[in-house]
Each structure stands twice: as structure tokens, then as C-alpha cells.
Amino acid sequence: MRRPLIVGNWKMNKTASEAVAFIRDLCGRVSASPHADVVLAPPFTALESASRALGSSSWISLCAQDIHWEPHGAFTGEVSAPMLLDLGCRYVIVGHSERRILFGERDEHIQKKVRSALRHGLSPILCVGESLGDREAGQTETVVTAQLKGSLAELSMRDLATVTIAYEPVWAIGTGRTATTEQAASVHRSIRLFVEIGWNSETASAIRILYGGSVTPQNIKSLLVSDTIDGALVGGACLDPDSFATILRLAQIPRA
Ligand code: PGA
């Protein structure tokens, strides 16, 4: 049985001190639940203060929004897996569509990032998703499968078991236009099939696949109705503690 996972991606929002205030506020509104895992992804500059505010045994895990694939070296502006681990991160988002589209990240980079995260003991949250043009051209599955192939090729079963996949249609991110539960579930099923064919059915049924793209307190419940949708990667709606707490509460209701 897969435990739902809710990830809040702050993107380029909140200073280090705002992160502390947010975490205090959030923890006053909602508490740990045996029914869902919760992850917060502040910007690099707020990871340390967020880590301190959470403490070492928090029910909320810390996540970075990106990573460089080398452990250290002359890579101005980049941050590596050992640096993130040292701050208490357990997860890292890799291949977010904003990185792919705005910063030219390609699958070959993303594959190196996934591997580096795994090598150092961070759990990658790999983002995949089609553009509106891809969807309208009937290319959703082809595009998503190519991204998966390019990023996960030749991972061992053991490594893949630590990866979370986030299906995030580009046309749904920050637009207020959510995929329907059926649209998301259908892509999730094709992702599971890809894993089953490439690895095996146990891995396919164990891997967590999230949905991301305009998730709100209003639509989270209907998305989680699908038994193939294992949680959400939340952007805009995670910035406000009240709205994120509501999403967490709704996700923490045991699944049927
Ligand atoms: P959104 O962002 O919830 O604001 O659409 C989701 C994401 O980019 O992960």
C-alpha cells in the first residue's frame, strides 16, 4: 500500500526568516498523520533556517528544488547533494518543467542529477509532463515516456524504488487549469506500465506517482480518489499556511 505524499514547492518564494514563520504557522494548524508523508521544498537560501525550525525529528521532510550532479567543484552558482544532505534534506526535485523550459535542462542533465541524488542518499522527485501542444497533438504518452526513458535509463530496481515520479502537465502549472482526475490517472497508468515493462510489476506497483499542476484545497480530494494518484506536488497553493494545511488535512484522510 503506497502512502500518499504531499510536496510543497515554494519555487523562488520566501526568505529564510519567512520560512521559519511559515513552518511555525503550519505546525500550529496541522500535525503528523500516519496516512500521508509531507515534504517542503524551500529555496536553497531558506533550507538551513527551515531545517532548524523543523528540528531533526520532524514529521515534515525537507526537499531541495534542484541539484548539481557533481559533489563539488568549479560550478559557480550550483549546489550539490552532499551540501543538501548536510542541511537535513531527504528529497530533491529534479527536472521540474520550469528548469527544463526556462533554463534549458535536458534529459541527459536530469539523468545525471537523479543518479547523483541516489548515490548520495537523497530521494529524487522526478518531474515529467507534456506541453499543451503535445497534448493537443496526441503526444502526451510519447513525450512523457521519452522523458522517463531519458532520466531513468538503466537504474537498478533498488534505486528506482527510491524515486518518486511527479506527473505535471506543463499546461496545468500555475494556470489554474487542473488536469481532470481521469486525465491524470490515465498518464499515471502509462507511467506504471513503463516501469513494469522496464523493471517489473512489484516496482511498478510500489513506486509513488504524484500529480502536479494547479492543485488546490478545492481539487485535492477528487485527485486522490484515483488509486493510482499517490499525492501531489503543490506550487502556488502551498505558499499560504492555511491553504497548505487544508490540503494536508484532506490528503491525510485514509484512502479507501
Ligand atoms: P502550481 O505549481 O501548483 O502553482 O501549478 C506546481 C508545480 O510547479 O510543481
Chain segment 188-223, per-residue pLDDT in tens: 999 999 999 999 999 999 999 999 999 999 999 999
| C-alpha to C-alpha distances, 48 to 41, 45, 179, 201, nearest whole angstrom | 12, 7, 34, 39
Mean pLDDT for 5-23 is 98
Kindly state the percentage of the chain with pLDDT values over 70. 99
**Does residue 185 carry a pLDDT above 80?**
yes
Looking at residue 131, its pLDDT comes to: 97
Higher pLDDT, 35 or 19: 19
Asked whether the beta carbons of 122 and 169 are under 8 A apart, the reply is: no
Tell me what percent of the chain is helix, strand and coil, each rounded to the nearest 5: 45, 15, 35
Looking at residue 56, its pLDDT comes to: 85
Looking at residue 194, its pLDDT comes to: 97
- Which of 35, 10, 5 minimizes the C-alpha distance to 22? 10
Digit-coded pLDDT (tens) for 102-142: 999 999 999 999 999 999 999 999 999 999 999 999 999 99
Asked whether the beta carbons of 165 and 148 are under 8 A apart, the reply is: yes
Q: Residue 69 — very low, low, confident or very high, per pLDDT cuts 50/70/90?
A: very high
**Does residue 164 carry a pLDDT above 80?**
yes
Looking at residue 34, its pLDDT comes to: 82
**Does residue 58 carry a pLDDT above 80?**
yes
CA of 212 to the centre of ligand 1 (A): 6
Residue 183: count of CB within 10 angstroms of its CB:
16
Provide the annotated active-site residues: 96, 168
CA of 200 to the centre of ligand 1 (A): 30
Lowest mean pLDDT among 3-12, 32-41, 59-68: 32-41
Q: b/e map of 74-87 (b: 16 or more CB within 10 Å)?
A: eeeeebbbebbbeb
Ligand 1 atom nearest residue 215's Cα: 3
**Alpha carbon nearest to ligand 1 atom 3, residue:** 235
**Alpha carbon nearest to ligand 1 atom 2, residue:** 235
What is the spatial distance between Cα 5 and Cα 208, in angstroms, rounded to a whole number? Answer: 8
- Which of 195, 182, 194 minimizes the C-alpha distance to 229? 182
CA of 73 to the centre of ligand 1 (A): 31
**Alpha carbon nearest to ligand 1 atom 6, residue:** 235
Query: DSSP label at 154?
Result: T
CA of 27 to the centre of ligand 1 (A): 22
For residue 137, the SS3 value is: coil
The cell numbers describing 253, all together, are 484522510
User: What global pTM score does this model have?
Assistant: 0.97
Ligand 1 atom nearest residue 175's Cα: 5
**Alpha carbon nearest to ligand 1 atom 7, residue:** 235
Ligand 1 atom nearest residue 216's Cα: 3
Pocket probe mutation, ligand 1, options 234, 240, 243, 244, max atoms within 8 Å of Cβ: 234
Looking at residue 1, its pLDDT comes to: 79
Residues with CB under 6 A from ligand 1: 9, 168, 173-174, 212-215, 233-237
For residue 218, the SS3 value is: coil
- Which of 141, 155, 238 minimizes the C-alpha distance to 189? 141
